[in-house]
Structure 1
Amino acid sequence: MKAFSILLAILLIPVSIYSQGLLQEKNTFTHQDTLRGSITPEREWWDLTYYHLDISVDPDTKSISGKNTIKYTVLKPYATMQIDLQEPLYITKVTQNGKELKAMRDGNAYFIGLIDHQVLETNNSIEVFYEGNPKEAKNAPWDGGFSWKKDENGNDFVATSCQGLGASVWWPCKDHMYDEVDSMDISVTVPKGLMNVSNGRLKSTVENKKTTTYNWTVKNPINNYGVNANIGDYVHFSEVYAGENGPLDMDYYVLRDNLEKAKTHFKDAPRMMEAFEHWFGPYPFYEDGFKLVEVPYLGMEHQSSVTYGNQYKMGYLGNDVSGSGWGMKFDFIIIHESGHEWFANNITHIDMADMWIHESFTSYSENLFVDYFYGKEASADYVVGVRKRIQNDAPIIGTYNVNKEGSADMYYKGANILHTLRQLIEDDEKWRQILRGLNETFYHQTVTTKQIEDYISEKSGIDLKPFFNQYLRTANVPVLEYTLKKGTLRYRWNNVVDGFKTPVKVTFEGKEQWIYPTTEWNWKMVDVKVRELKLNRNFYVNISKL
């Protein structure tokens, strides 16, 4: 989906936006990084439309086997198709129209030689058969793959996670974010006594002699890392939420022993939905419903199948990431990972370098959840509180075309960047409409950073290009320098990019007021009794008296 319209977008991003450090780092990337992270000729000629992933999972041998049916539209004639599958998994056979095709492996990419002529605008399909022992997650979800665990009763408790690493760590696919599949079916066969929960809605269950097959269907476009399989001794409960677009099914799958605990603790889920539909607009996947699924790791934002492992504690594993106290008012994983349904699953970055679009807005959603239920000052306490986690070690934007995200500051520095933008716009309702407008304008789309920047600049009526260049493309925090001498206040920006002239609110002479610094010294007359400026805490800048 969307492959044709954005085909060249990521390739046209100028090298000049990179810091020197990232340019040096780029030299360390490998051929495999390029195959994984770029829109290769073997990818760009076909537009992905449908997957049917049909696999069997054997927890005893930690193995999987099966096939993926891939349907696509021909954008231009070509004879070779790139399908990604990471070692140690391997493709056993590829067929099209009953003919077996040659598949040549280059590391984690297979190049499939097509026999039939690929006619422009026709719809075709291939079947990819594969098997093996997939990479085992060492520290899911950060180091992903398959998590092969046991619950407290000795039952198998298995889950997938693959953000960054890529969906091809466990199933063959077109493993690049630019082209989302339009719809998908997921069939997972597991040993009897276990259940598989995947994305979308459960269509049917088939009882076999020693196994059970669970057939799930996804009607909305879905990004590849958002696809998941979760296997365990699950029990189910549900509720219907009265949402902006009508009744919304909210389903919960938890380990049997945790059912009563979950029925109480998961009350944060409808609260989340209420807050985020207010700020971001209608939940983007009404057709597929919303699920929380318990897993043996912390959690992830799998589309319509959000995974949960926060041990039924408030905060982040019982801790307040902000230190403000407000972080203990909600379950961090329910709020944060569900926020990704809007920013990551509805609006999806084209290239991993723009991962801030997912993480900055979603980290900011924690703050907005606090705002909705506890007020604006509480939300400011929260977002200012997370600043202690910011490193300013590298730019938030990463390196393009090699599957490389930027600094982890995309989380809480990103949240503070957006919080600062809210101050610049001043009108809270206008800011809310911008957030909702992003989700409406880019509904079910993959996007570039430039599209997000341009939209916010246009709707705010502010030229934000220097602002975004400063905060996304450098690791420098703006410094407001000032002097006070004989009733004269002099002030300017330092440590900033050319053209940076963001106004800020400061307090002096007993009142708060805007000032408009540039990189040149500005001055104004003030009361001779003024000894210092107090910076409004909602702006993510530093202040220095010279």
Structure 2
Amino acid sequence: MRHRLIVPSAAAAALLLAVPASAADATPGAPGIGDSYYPTSGNGGYDVSHYDLRLKYQPSTDRLDGTATLTATTTQALSRFNLDFALDVSEVLVNGKPTSFAKSGDHELEITPSAPLERGRQITVVVRYSGTPSQVKINGYSAWQRTPDGAVVANEPEAAAWWFPSNDHPLDKATYDISVAVPEGLQTVSNGELKSQTTKLGWTRYNWRSTKPQASYLATLAIGKFDITTDKTASGLPVLNAYSKDLGDNYDSAKASVERSTEVIDWESKVFGPYPFNAIGGYVPNVKTGYALETQTRPYYSPSGFANGANVSLVVHELAHQWFGDSVSVKDWRHIWVNEGFATYAQWLWSEKEGEGTAQELADYIYSSIPADNDFWKVKPSDPGADNQFHNAVYNRGAIALQALRNAVGDKVFFQILQNWTKENKYGNASVQDFVAFAEKTSGKKLQKLFDRWLNTPGKPAAADAARDGIGKAASAATGKGGAHSLKAAKPVAPKSWQKIQEAQKAHQH
């Protein structure tokens, strides 16, 4: 049989070349990254490597104007993709070409490129936008707070959508350049290093840079009038702390706490391994909210966290998060223990160092003083549920699990586990089970039952099981490990550090 040879025209041939085979299979990226607690957080189909934000903010009207440039790589052939964003968008470009877009729900920006994007392609997305962030609500609240002289944005698990478009989940980390123009006389505080500032025509522009991978919720911005101090750590890292000038009676106690950040970081670097970022510090704006947050390189502290005097334990907690939560981040928000259990245990180690109660004494006190019918024991730190993500059990029962691990493997192996964990998972993401497996591999011991007791099983572990793990009054008497109590003690006695640790945890819980 003879076959007719068909030669395509030049135009048809060009069309075939213009549409790669993978683009022909293009589908929309998912509107969520797959988180079990927050299914609409993040997006599918691409991975962001860098955010460049050029902003202008007028505090008198709460008007924010911005241009965000995202560099990313597609992870599938895309016909459309989403960004998490809530302000008004005027223009979107993909690879320099104007692109159609639409808002969906309260924080989804749907972008449809003029032509499908093949998998593995590097793309540049430009979004021009404006709005009044404090008036925008997502799930009934705004993460953008107005202050007497400016504004602050810092929240968990979501904060970015009020001021820049992003792939808003810890699974997609990126580096940041944040450039902000504010009326002359005001200052800005953000992540990383302040690279430059210039004043022109009544406006001052501040340029901040973060050069290490950072989750979007950890990006922060504060605008106002601040007293700023600078320092360097023992390893030479720049330290910048900022305090609103109108903190009132909380000013001195806040400064007495946050100014010890250099000391705390130098100590934590010995315990957890080298500090993973390019700068450090903290800031205390004049806000009414009562929480603190581990915003990367520059934790945010509410002034109420220092209402009862200085609280270095709070600073220890937020700075420990730079390793546990910021560098090693959750794979899914149900794994919040890999953030909070470790930051809480850092407070216990600081208490031990300061001679105000050992980690063993703190674990014994919590186990012995909280009755079995208390809701504290009903929450599983390994999967507490979205409503209990910041429950005391995640912090304190979660820290008991680490003390039980320390008792099981000994100090040398325990601190080896902590340092190698932060080293091997640096800038990555991890789950509770990842840590369990890592601890078993490092120690050569089977530890699943221990973690099941303290992290995975509702209910207070039985006294005999707790004693086996070296926890509680019975454990103190039976093992002679120097716990806080004996079997004859009528009432558990709190270690000296307990009140400040509790204050710090309340400040961190949202």
Pick from 288, 310, 320: which aligns with 1:339? 320
Amino acid at match of 1:290: I
SS of 1:283's partner is coil
Q: Does 1:247 align with 2:236?
A: yes
Partner of 1:109: 108
Partner of 1:350: 331
TM-superposition CA deviations, 1:349-402 (whole Å, max 9, x none): 021111111111101110111222327x544344545566872233223489x8
Quote how far apart the aligned CAs of 1:131 are.
1.8
* Helix, strand or coil at the partner of 2:314: helix
1:439, distance to aligned residue in structure 2 (A): 0.8
Residue 462 of structure 1, aligned match among 442, 445, 452 = 445
CA–CA separation in structure 1 for the residues paired with 2:457 and 2:477: 33
Match of 2:280? 290
Distance 1:479 1:386, change over 3 A: closer
Higher helix share: 2
The structure 2 residue matched to 1:368, chosen from 326, 342, 349, is 349
Measured in 1, the distance between the counterparts of 2:159 and 2:394 equals: 19
Alignment-mate amino acid for residue 413 of structure 2: K
CA separation of 1:104/1:399 partners in 2, compared to 1, >3 Å: closer, same or farther? farther
Conserved in 2, the CA contact under 8 Å of 1:161 and 1:300?
yes
Shift of 1:104: 2.5
Residue 396 (structure 2) pairs with residue 396 (structure 1): no
SS at match of 2:400: helix
Is the Cα contact below 8 Å between 1:192 and 1:212 reproduced in 2? yes
* CA shift in 2, pair 1:170/1:502, >3 Å: farther
Change in 2 beyond 3 A, CA 1:407/1:299: closer
AA aligned to 2:228 is H
Distance (Å, rounded) in 2 between the aligned partners of 1:160 and 1:90: 18
Distance (Å, rounded) in 1 between the aligned partners of 2:187 and 2:57: 11
1:50 and 2:30 matched: no
Cα distance, 1:111 vs structure 2: 1.7
Distance 2:194 2:393 in 1: 38
Normalized per residue, which structure has more strand?
Answer: 1
Which amino acid counterpart does residue 40 of structure 2 have in structure 1?
A: L
Does residue 412 (structure 1) correspond to residue 393 (structure 2)? The answer is: no
Supply the distance in 2 between the matched residues of 1:64 and 1:280 (Cα, whole angstroms). 39
Pairing 1:60-209 to 2, within 5 Å after superposition = 60-86=60-86, 89-107=87-105, 108-135=107-134, 145-150=143-148, 156-181=149-174, 183-209=175-201
- Give the conservation status (yes or no) of the 8 Å contact 1:352–1:403: no
Q: Distance in 2 between matches of 1:137 and 1:331?
A: 35
Task: Answer whether contact 1:351 1:403 (CA < 8 A) is retained.
Answer: no
Distance (whole Å) between structure 1 residues aligned to residue 85 and residue 301 of structure 2: 26
Asked if structure 2 preserves the Cα contact closer than 8 Å seen for 1:396 and 1:406, the reply is no
The answer as to whether partners of 1:234 and 1:255 remain within 8 angstroms in 2 is: yes
Residues in 2 aligned to 1:424 and 1:262: alpha-carbon distance in whole angstroms? 38
In the alignment, residue 253 of structure 1 is paired with which amino acid?
A
Of residues 408, 414, 419, the one that matches 1:436 is 419
Question: How has the CA–CA distance of structure 1 residues 502 and 117 changed in structure 2, closer, same or farther, with 3 Å as cutoff?
Answer: farther
1:135 deviates by: 3.8
- Relative to structure 1, the CA distance from residue 134 to residue 312 in structure 2 (aligned partners, 3 Å threshold; closer, same or farther) is closer
SS of the equivalent of 1:454 reads helix
- For residue 157 of structure 1, report the CA deviation from its aligned partner: 4.1
User: Given the superposition, is the C-alpha separation of residues 505 and 214 from structure 1 closer, same or farther in structure 2, using an over 3 Å criterion?
Assistant: closer
Asked if the contact 2:335–2:382 (Cα under 8 Å) also holds between the matched residues in 1, the reply is yes
Q: What TM-score do the two structures reach when normalised by structure 2?
A: 0.77
Q: Is the 8 A contact 1:507 1:513 kept in 2?
A: no
Structure 1 residue 137 displacement after superposition:
10
Provide the rounded CA distance (Å) in 2 between the counterparts of 1:54 and 1:137.
Answer: 20
2:20 is matched with: none
- Distance change in 2, residues 1:365/1:240 (3 Å): same
User: 2:135 & 2:366 partners in 1: Cα distance?
Assistant: 32
Distance 1:274 1:202, change over 3 A: closer
Q: 2:432 aligns with which of 445, 449, 454?
A: 449
Instruction: State how far apart, in whole Å, the 1-side matches of 2:136 and 2:360 are.
Output: 36
Alpha-carbon separation, structure 2, partners of 1:382 and 1:399: 22
CA contact (8 A) 1:506 1:513 kept: no
Which residue of 201, 211, 226 corresponds with 2:203?
211
What percentage of aligned pairs have identical amino acids? 22
Over the aligned positions, Cα root-mean-square deviation in angstroms equals: 3.6
Other structure's SS at 1:50 match: strand
Asked if structure 1 preserves the Cα contact closer than 8 Å seen for 2:240 and 2:281, the reply is yes
Cα pair 2:180 2:188 within 8 Å, conserved = yes
Given the superposition, is the C-alpha separation of residues 106 and 267 from structure 1 closer, same or farther in structure 2, using an over 3 Å criterion?
closer
Count of aligned pairs: 441
1:296 CA drift (Å)? 2.4
Question: Quick one: structure 1 residues 105 and 63, their matched pair in 2 at CA, closer, same or farther if it must change by over 3 Å?
Answer: same
TM-superposed CA distance for 1:533, in Å, is 9.8
Quote the residue 2:41 is aligned against: 36
* SS of corresponding position for 2:399: helix
CA distance in 2, matches of 1:505, 1:450: 22
Q: Distance in 2 between matches of 1:127 and 1:45?
A: 17
State the alpha-carbon separation in 1 of the partners of residues 196 and 153 from structure 2. 21
CA distance in 1, matches of 2:89, 2:388: 26
Letter in 2 for 1:397: S
**1:423 and 2:407 aligned:** yes
CA gap 1:469/1:115 in 2 versus in 1, 3 angstroms: farther
- Where 1:47 maps in the other structure, the secondary structure is strand
Contact 1:144 1:163 in 2 (8 A): no
Tell whether 2:296 aligns with 1:303.
yes
Cα drift, residue 98 of structure 1: 3.2
Secondary structure in structure 1 of the residue aligned to 2:316:
helix
Q: Distance between the aligned counterparts of 1:114 and 1:418, measured in 2?
A: 49
CA contact (8 A) 1:136 1:148 kept: no
Cα distance 1:386–1:533, how it changes in 2: closer, same or farther (>3 A)?
A: closer
Amino acid at match of 2:423: E
2:508 — aligned with what? none
* CA spacing shift, 1:411–1:511, aligned 2, 3 Å: closer
Q: Please give the secondary structure, in 1, of the residue aligned with 2:455.
A: helix
The 3 A distance-change label for structure 1 pair 475 and 248 is same
Q: Tell me, in whole angstroms, the C-alpha distance in 2 between the residues paired with 1:312 and 1:472.
A: 28
The residue identity in structure 1 corresponding to 2:55 is: I
Provide the residue aligned with 1:279 in structure 2.
271
> Is the CA contact 1:505–1:512 (under 8 Å) kept in the aligned structure 2?
no
Q: Give the drift of 1:513.
A: 3.9
CA contact (8 A) 2:316 2:347 kept: yes
Counterpart Cα distance in 2 of 1:137 and 1:45: 27
> Does the 8 Å CA contact 2:84/2:166 hold for their aligned counterparts?
yes
Residue identity matched to 1:444: Y
3-state SS of the aligned residue for 1:219? strand
